[in-house]
Structure 1
Amino acid sequence: MNCKNCDHPLSEMDNFCQSCGAKVIRNRLALRNLIESFSEQFLNYDNKFLQTFIMLFKKPEDVIGTYIDGTRKKYVNVVSYFAIAITYAGLFAFINQKYFPGVYDRLFGAVNQNEAQVQFTSDMLYLIFEYQAFIFFLMVPVLALMSRLVFLKNKKYNYTEHIVITMYAYAQASLFVTTISFIAQFDKQLFFLNSILGLPLQILYFAYILKRMYNLNFVQIFLKTLLFLLILGMFYVLFVIVLLIYLFAFTDFFQQVIEAEKAKKGVSYIISSAINWTS
């Protein structure tokens, strides 16, 4: 009998291949095997995904540092972890659009925005959902560049290694925020709180990772965070300008907002005229 993965010869007593380490499977595939495999990979405490998720909160320098140093088996590798985060966020977006259409219109309307603001915010959010995979890939090199600029004088990690740091940090933050966002859409107060604290918490988590990776004290990371926010602000302004140019040139978004505002003013005028006439 030979290994089904690498074709290495096996004895009848082997439970694992001595060449590639794969488990020897002798039985036909059954539903029980699938359930056991799922449980082994994702539900038990020792699985790599759960360990990676926990340790990225407890000791992110161990997960990221060991990967940069060459260890690949202890935790989920950065590409796979990033792919899991993208898939999870995509599933969340699909469920929202498929089974909860208009939920954000109602939630934004509940925080005292006028109709035009609700339309603008909701359209922006759905635009982000539609292109979120592209945004994920676009943000990684940009955030890595910003963090590298912050630590420009520190040569401990180069730009490529900052990409690894950013991918782990961005994936972890995405997994956490996506879960909270899904829960928050069923509660208006939690949704409002999440919309306010979501971005600051992600920035704080990113700062926490860099603090652990560079072994900084509180004052050092505070100053580095201020510098990071300054650079982030400049990149954000540039992003908004590019986005507005795109919306203006390739969509009818602004026309819809203008028409919604005109309709609102028309309704207000009719109501005001009716009140004056009756009085």
Structure 2
Amino acid sequence: MSENLPTTFQPLENCLNCKHELESNANYCLNCGSKIKELRFNLKRLLAVYSESFFSLENTFTKTFIDLWIRPDSVINGFVIGLRKRYMNPVSYFAMALTISGLQVFVIKKFYPDALANMYGSEKTGFMSIAVLDYQTLLTSASIPLMAFIGWIVFKTLKKYNYAEHLILNFYAYSQYAILATLAGTFCLIIGWDYGIFAFVMIFMTIVYYTYVYKKVFGLSIKGLIFRTLFFTLMSGFIFALLSIAAALMMFLTGSLPLKA
């Protein structure tokens, strides 16, 4: 049976989080630091809470998003060695990226179904690309362990990260790229920019961003960076070619990919 909690507009005698007795006229619990909110919600206050949660510089999502651009080593190395409260954890950040990407899938299928057909020059190929969107979450989730494995192989001689820690790096790096690609891709659709050009630009940006992240995290020299980037890119291309074949086979078996023109 759920316990009877006082409504938010009644004075509180004990903290709702830790049950510690509250001082009179206190704004925070002296024991756990939780805010004491006795005011009822209205639209203005609800919007203020939403803005504080998602757009404040104190928000972990905002900090994570900004610092993964300017100091990815602080975010990734920080989490690996035990920093927890400053940044969003990698799995939650990945879930956020999937949610944002899912919104773009809805936008493409609902409002811009011809964008991918025009991108590839044929209706059938565009249909294949739209069908791939239906499996985006599955393919993305499968790609993270593979990317982590490639990174572990490429950087194994440095003996800095184990496989699990490469998973953390890839959760952060892929999520950051996915959020950027989703926002930029949606903007391109809205202004009518060629989505094919955008896709090729983002492939290049993926390589650049991953190279940047690995350089910052592992402190690579230019020579080591070039060699390992080429090795990583070749292995990734091979793996994703296999994933593409697997995706096409899955769509064929489920009837999402018709063989007739």
TM-score, normalised via structure 1 length: 0.82
CA drift of 1:187 comes to: 4.5
Pick which of 242-251 and 204-213 moved more. Answer: 242-251
Would you say the 8 A contact 2:132–2:247 is kept in 1?
Answer: no
Q: How far, CA to CA, are the matches of 2:196 and 2:46 in structure 1?
A: 40
Q: How far, CA to CA, are the matches of 2:193 and 2:244 in structure 1?
A: 28
- Aligned mate of 1:231, from 224, 232, 235: 235
2:119 alignment partner AA: F
Q: How far, CA to CA, are the matches of 1:5 and 1:99 in structure 2?
A: 45
Residues 178-229 of structure 1, C-alpha deviations (whole Å, 9 max, x = no match): 1111111245544232121111211221111011000012221111011112
Percent identity of the aligned residues? 31
1:142 alignment partner AA: L
Match of 1:46 in 2: 58
1:167 is aligned to 2:171: yes
Pick which of 7-16 and 73-82 moved more. Answer: 7-16
- Aligned mate of 2:205, from 193, 197, 201: 201
Match of 1:119 in 2: 124
Which of structures 1 and 2 has the bigger CA Rg?
A: 1
CA drift of 1:170 comes to: 0.5
Match of 2:101 in 1: 89
- Aligned mate of 1:139, from 113, 120, 143: 143
Residues 136-166 of structure 1, C-alpha deviations (whole Å, 9 max, x = no match): 2111111111100101222111111111100
RMSD: 1.9
For residue 9 of structure 1, give the secondary structure of its aligned residue in structure 2.
Answer: coil
- Aligned mate of 1:3, from 7, 11, 15: 15
Match of 1:80 in 2: 92
Aligned structure 1 segments of 4 or more residues deviating by more than 6 angstroms:
none
1:246 is aligned to 2:250: yes
Unaligned runs of 5+ in 1: 261-279
1:16 is aligned to 2:20: no
- Aligned mate of 1:222, from 204, 216, 226: 226
2:27 alignment partner AA: N
Q: How far, CA to CA, are the matches of 1:164 and 1:15 in structure 2?
A: 37
Name the structure with the higher helix share. Answer: 1
1:48 alignment partner AA: T
CA drift of 1:171 comes to: 0.5
For residue 2 of structure 1, give the secondary structure of its aligned residue in structure 2.
Answer: coil
For residue 253 of structure 1, give the secondary structure of its aligned residue in structure 2.
Answer: coil
Pick which of 183-192 and 199-208 moved more. Answer: 183-192
Change (3 A) 1:83 1:244: closer
1:55 is aligned to 2:55: no
1:16 alignment partner AA: Y
Residues 62-92 of structure 1, C-alpha deviations (whole Å, 9 max, x = no match): 1111111111111122122111111111111
Would you say the 8 A contact 2:119–2:195 is kept in 1?
Answer: no
Residues 99-119 of structure 1, C-alpha deviations (whole Å, 9 max, x = no match): 3333433x326xxx2x3xx42
CA drift of 1:252 comes to: 6.4
Q: How far, CA to CA, are the matches of 2:193 and 2:112 in structure 1?
A: 18
- Aligned mate of 1:108, from 105, 119, 125: 119
2:103 alignment partner AA: L
